[in-house]
Amino acid sequence: MSPTTIELPEPPINAPPIEHWIDDYFDRLTPILKTALQDTYRQWLERSPEKPAEKDPFAMAFEEYDKLSEVEQDEISWQAFSSKKSWIDAQLHKYRAEWIVVIGGKVETFSSTLDDVPMKNAIRKMGLETGLVPFLFIREPLIEENASGLTTHSQWAELDDGDFYPTLEMFIGTAGDDKQQLKSAGVRLAADLDTGSPSIIVRGNDIERLGLRLKDFQNTWASHLGKRYRYVTPKVQIAIQSESQGLKSGVFHLRAVHDWATGPFVLINPNRAALVGRNLLLQLGLDVLLKGTERKTIIV
């Protein structure tokens, strides 16, 4: 702003003190100050960089999206998920689907099972064919966060202030493994038992130890306890040791979560490696005894 000169009025000859001409002074000063403030604000607006309008991810050209890094692509996917979450949930309910693929703001394909959830290369093919970005959305489990560990007895995980989380011990292997392969080559985990969850949720790194390449799966987003997380849905074999029925196993789709250590599933139990839902109990027909006095889980 350029400097402004304010010319003060001359006091009348033989006038009493300043009170006689101060009103005239402020009458001249007020419009000058108003103009100066407006000029300063206008210059500030001109210097401030304009915030670019956020693009609609559903209108984004696949060619542009395909040039981005995986991290940037995941952020675009998060924008699509978070901006239309209510609509996405409604579509999953409408089609009674476990997953949908949305292209251009419309449901392109869907299924009632995770057995045929499209892999990353199939998603990319859809983008090349349509010219728009295909977004994979998977039904979110309602996780109530009750928390439980391959022996038939599993000691609970100790939290703060004398609190404990029930655990359940399991082996995880690839879908084609038999029971002995699971015991000898599978990943052994003590998972928190959450009957409030219909899903099995594990660290992505533990699934990669099986030789599964998570980068071959299409990432998708969900949120829990107010924090977002990225995950994929590989199919694995899980075995549980029962006192009366021996080793019981089955094939499950689980959520393999990226960046586990900074995600929402360690907020309640920082040492958590996995969260086992009620689907494991139902599919394998397990009877579980929780012994609060011994802080122990027994598979009977």
Q: Are 67 and 133 in contact (CB under 8 A)?
A: no
* Model confidence, pTM: 0.71
Full set of structural domains in the chain with CATH: 57-138 (no CATH), 153-299 (2.40.70.10)
What are the average pLDDT values for consecutive 10-residue runs of the chain, which has 300 residues? Answer: 56 56 61 65 58 78 96 95 95 97 98 96 97 96 51 52 78 84 84 87 94 95 92 94 86 95 91 91 90 84
Q: Which residues of 208-241 are buried (b: 16+ CB within 10 A; e: fewer)?
A: eebebebeebbbbbbebeeeebbbbbbebbbbbb
Q: What is the pLDDT of residue 246?
A: 84
Confidence at residue 66, expressed as pLDDT on a 0 to 100 scale: 96
- The pLDDT value given to residue 178: 79
